[in-house]
Amino acid sequence: DPFGAATLERPWDDGTESLDNAKRRVDAAFEFIHKLGAPYYCFHDRDVAPDGATLAQANSNLDAVVTHLKAAQEATGIKLLWGTANLFSHPRYLHGAATSPNADVFAYAAAQVKKAIEVTHRLGGENYVFWGGREGYMNLYNTDMRRELENLARFMHLAVDHARAIGFTGRFLFEPKPKEPTKHQYDFDAAACLNFIRAYGLEEHVHLNIETNHATLAGHTMMHELTYASIQGALGSIDANTGDLLLGWDTDQF
């Protein structure tokens, strides 16, 4: 319930943030995906494994679950389409991750992405996704947009450099979304993302991951975003949700 406590009870999920519960959720997910006959799955780091009081603890938790994920992949033949890092849920990311005005937050986010890329590579992931959930601003009066865009580009270049250094040869995907949770996000739509990618020399490495409700939130149809990304040679992947404008999320009309 988005306005209350948890209401769903699942036999595999006891509602805790324990590693045992995380592994049971993996088992349930792979059973479901296997029954669907879907060839791929995707994940956010903090969705599959509990966070920790320290980065080291969070990484240890992730390693434990990734071992379980790898075994599930081998048992079912299901492959990893992409991995990504959740850089928007924790309070430290209130004012962004790569675009945060706090250097400590930038560094923590970089370390979190470093680990997420490493486990994506370990699992044979074909892509790595950047979604800047809070890479934007609430008010321009206290925002140095040029600095934030430059820092975001620097962050992405660091990620690409590390990925290539460890042998990851997959694509990076930038996912457009114009707003929510921030008032304005720099990854506004396919055109804005491509302009950013080209302006900062990332076009060799970064393509686009287009999501239906993010397209409508930007005032476009999904067909528009897919067509634009495709004719620019930048369509990398699709998040195909229903595109229902009456959902309670991804459609806030500010």
**Which residues are identified as catalytic?**
44, 47
The count of other CB atoms within 10 Å of the CB of residue 87 is 29
Reduce the secondary structure of 119-142 to three states and give it as a string. Answer: HHHHCCCCEEEECCCCCEECCHHH
CA-wise closest residue to 160 among 197, 107, 185: 197
What string of DSSP letters covers 28-89? Answer: HHHHHHHHHT-SEEEEEHHHHS---SSHHHHHHHHHHHHHHHHHHHHHH--EEEEEE---SS
Handedness of CA 23, 24, 27, 32 (dihedral sign): negative
Burial class (CB in 10 A: 0-12, 13-18, 19+), 120: buried
Q: Are 78 and 39 in contact (CB under 8 A)?
A: yes
The rounded distance, in Å, linking the Cα atoms of 48 and 240 is: 21
Name the β-bridge partners of 128. 83, 172
How far, in Å, CA of 213 to CA of 225, rounded? 11
